[in-house]
Structure 1
Amino acid sequence: MKMTTLKMKEKLDKLFQKDGWRVSFIRDKDTYRVEWEASKQGVSIKIPNVIAKFEQRGEAALDELYYHVSESLKMMNKEHHLNGKEKNIFPVIRATSFPKKTKAGVKLVFTEHTAETNVYYALDLGSTYQLIDEEMLEVQGWTKDRLKEISLFNVRSLPVDPKKDTVAENDFYFISPQDGYDASRILNESFLEEMKANAIGELLVAVPHQDVLIVADIQNQTGYDIIAQMTMKFFADGRVPITSLPFVYDEKKLEPVFILAKNKPKDK
C-alpha cells in the first residue's frame, strides 16, 4: 500500500515525541516541523521527500532522519562560547541580500565588504558552523573588531592550492578545498597581492558561490567573456550562491563589474 501524507505524519508524530520538542504539520505546504517549545527554533521537513526515501529504504530512512533532525536541534539549543575557541572562528562571504538577523530576531554580526557582498562570522563546530550574533558577542565580552581580526588571521592561515586552467591564453585559478571557507579566501589579501604581482593582464576575482574562489588573469577580450559566463554558471549551480558578478582587483580594492567583452575598452 502506498504511503500517504497522513500516514507518514502519524509515523513522524511517534518518531519525534520528546519532552521539550513541539511538532506541527503545515498541510498546504506538505511540511512537518519539529522545534524547541521554548525558543521556537527548529527544523522543517518536506513530507513528500520523506515518503520517497521511506519507500526506497524503509525504517532506516526514518532512523537517519531522526538522527539529523535531533543533531540539528541539539546544536540550536547548545550555548556556544567564543573564549577558548579563537582558532575556530572564520569569516564567511554572503550576498548583501542574506538575512541580517536570526530566525529568533537577533542581529547577526557582519561587515560590509563590496556592493555585492558582506562578511559574516562563523564559529566552526566541526561538521557545521554557527553564525555569530550580537548576543554572543555581548555575553562573551568581545568587540566586533576583535572578532574581525581573529577571523581574518584564521582565514589567512588556511591553505591555498589553486588549480590552474588556461583557456584562449587566459589563466584561471580555482580554489575549492571544500572546507566551507572556499569563498572566504577572497579576504586573504596577501594571496590576492601575490596573484596581482604575477598577473600579466587584468586580475579578476569571483565568488559565485560559497564553495569556490576563482582568480583570473585576463589577457585578451575573449577572457572577459569566459569569466562572465563561467561566473554565471557557477552562481546558478551553487549550493549557497553569492554573486554572479566578478570583481576587478586593483590597489587592494574589489570592484564588481558587469562584463560585455565586446564593449570592454582595450586600454584602461
Structure 2
Amino acid sequence: MKMDSRKMRKELESRLGNESRSISYDREKDQLRIENTRSGKGITVSLSGIVAKWHSEKEKAIDEVVYYIEEGLKAMDDTVQLTEHEKKIFPVIRSTSFPAEAEEGVPFLYEEHTAETRIYYAYDLGNTYRLIDSRIMKKEGWDEARVKEIALFNVRSLSTTLKEDNVAGNMFYFLNTKDGYDASRILNKVFLSDIQKKITGTMAVAVPHQDVLIIADIQNDTGYDVLAQMTMGFFANGPVPITALSFLYEDGNLEPIFILGKNRR
C-alpha cells in the first residue's frame, strides 16, 4: 500500500470525525485542522510529517497521532482547578521554538531553561495534561511563583528508576516511564546530584523528547559519538521532540555540547 497526504487525510477524518467536531483541510500548507465546534479550539497537524512517519512505522504512526489529537482536544475541554489540586501541577520541558501562547493569544506560563530548552507548567489530566496559561492563573488567583514552586516540588516525587547499558566502556542510564514527565526529571537537582556522585568520567544528559531522559557517564571519545547518535535517534522518533543536543552537567549547570564525529565543542 502506498500512503500519501490524500489517503492520510481520509484516514484521519474517518477516525477523528464526530458530530461535535469540524475538520478542515488547508491544501496549500497540507495541514488538517480538527476543531471542537462548541469552543472553536482545535489542533492543526501537518500531513506530510505523518505520512513520512507512516513509511517507517505504518499503523503505529496513525495510532499515535490520533491518540495525541484526542487527548489534546480533551485537555482543551477540561476545566482546570489549581486550588486543592496542587499535586496535579508539574513542569514540562519544551524546545525554545515551542509556542509562547495558546492559539487564542493567551500567554503560557514558562521560563527559559537552557539555550535549547524552556520550562512550561502543566496541570495533569490523567492520560494527558494542559499547559497552564495566564487566564488559568488569573481565574484561580495564583501568581507565577506559586505555580513554579509547587511544580518543582512535585517533580521530586516522581520515580527515578533507571535502566542502564554499557557501550564501549561508557555507561548510559535511561529514564523512560512514559508518564509525560520523563524529561522533566532533569529539573530534579537532588536526583542529578546523586547520580553525579556515581559518575567516574564526564557526566552528560539529554532530553531528546518528553518521554525520555538520558544520562551518560562518558569515558572516551566513542561515548560522545554514541550519545550523539542515540539522542538524534530518540529526537527523530519521539512524540514531543525537544532537542537533539546533549548537555554537559557539572555542579547543577547544563552546557550544550556539539558533537561532530570525533570533534566536540
Smaller-chain TM-score bracket: 0.7 to 0.9
Aligned CA distance change for structure 1 residues 171 and 133 (closer, same or farther; 3 Å): same
Runs of 4 or more consecutive aligned structure 1 residues displaced over 6 Å after TM superposition: 27-32, 67-71
Say if 1:248 and 1:255, in contact at 8 Å, map to a contact too: yes
CA distance in structure 1 between the aligned counterparts of 2:260 and 2:24, rounded to whole angstroms:
50
Deviates more, 1:253-262 or 1:68-77: 68-77
Say if 1:90 and 1:152, in contact at 8 Å, map to a contact too: yes
Say if 1:221 and 1:261, in contact at 8 Å, map to a contact too: no
CA distance in structure 2 between the aligned counterparts of 1:133 and 1:68, rounded to whole angstroms:
20
CA distance in structure 1 between the aligned counterparts of 2:224 and 2:245, rounded to whole angstroms:
12
Name the residue aligned to 1:197.
197
Matched, 1:155 2:158: no
Aligned CA distance change for structure 1 residues 182 and 71 (closer, same or farther; 3 Å): closer
- Residues 1-268 of structure 1 mapped to structure 2, 5 A cutoff: 16-17=18-19, 24=24, 26=26, 33=33, 35-37=35-37, 39-43=39-43, 73=73, 75-260=75-260, 262-264=262-264
Question: Which letter maps to 2:216?
Answer: A
Structure 1: any 5+ residue segments left out of the alignment?
Answer: 50-64
Question: Which letter maps to 1:231?
Answer: T
Aligned CA distance change for structure 1 residues 129 and 261 (closer, same or farther; 3 Å): same
Say if 1:182 and 1:210, in contact at 8 Å, map to a contact too: yes
Aligned CA distance change for structure 1 residues 220 and 27 (closer, same or farther; 3 Å): closer
- Partner SS for 1:191: helix
Deviation of 1:25 after TM superposition, in Å, equals 5.7
Deviation of 1:164 after TM superposition, in Å, equals 0.9
CA distance in structure 2 between the aligned counterparts of 1:27 and 1:249, rounded to whole angstroms:
45
Aligned CA distance change for structure 1 residues 200 and 137 (closer, same or farther; 3 Å): same
Deviation of 1:220 after TM superposition, in Å, equals 1.3
Aligned CA distance change for structure 1 residues 95 and 72 (closer, same or farther; 3 Å): closer
Aligned CA distance change for structure 1 residues 242 and 26 (closer, same or farther; 3 Å): closer
TM-score by length of 1: 0.78
Question: Which letter maps to 1:223?
Answer: G
CA distance in structure 2 between the aligned counterparts of 1:259 and 1:69, rounded to whole angstroms:
34
Aligned CA distance change for structure 1 residues 45 and 90 (closer, same or farther; 3 Å): closer
Summarize deviations over 1:138-157 as a string: whole Å, max 9, x none: 11111111111111111110
Question: Which letter maps to 1:161?
Answer: T
Q: Percent identity?
A: 51
- Partner SS for 2:165: strand
CA distance in structure 2 between the aligned counterparts of 1:251 and 1:32, rounded to whole angstroms:
45
Say if 1:209 and 1:243, in contact at 8 Å, map to a contact too: yes
Question: Which letter maps to 1:198?
Answer: K
Question: Which letter maps to 1:160?
Answer: T
CA distance in structure 1 between the aligned counterparts of 2:70 and 2:85, rounded to whole angstroms:
24
> Max radius of gyration: which structure?
1
Deviation of 1:127 after TM superposition, in Å, equals 1.4
Summarize deviations over 1:210-237 as a string: whole Å, max 9, x none: 1100000001121111111111111111
Alignment RMSD (CA, Å): 3.1
Summarize deviations over 1:72-112 as a string: whole Å, max 9, x none: 65542343111111001111000000000101110000011
Deviation of 1:239 after TM superposition, in Å, equals 1.4
Say if 2:257 and 2:264, in contact at 8 Å, map to a contact too: no
Question: Which letter maps to 2:234?
Answer: F
CA distance in structure 2 between the aligned counterparts of 1:220 and 1:168, rounded to whole angstroms:
8
Aligned CA distance change for structure 1 residues 154 and 69 (closer, same or farther; 3 Å): closer
Say if 2:71 and 2:128, in contact at 8 Å, map to a contact too: no
- Partner SS for 1:137: helix
Say if 2:205 and 2:249, in contact at 8 Å, map to a contact too: yes
Structure 2: any 5+ residue segments left out of the alignment?
Answer: 1-5, 51-65
CA distance in structure 1 between the aligned counterparts of 2:98 and 2:113, rounded to whole angstroms:
13
Deviates more, 1:26-35 or 1:217-226: 26-35
Say if 1:210 and 1:238, in contact at 8 Å, map to a contact too: yes
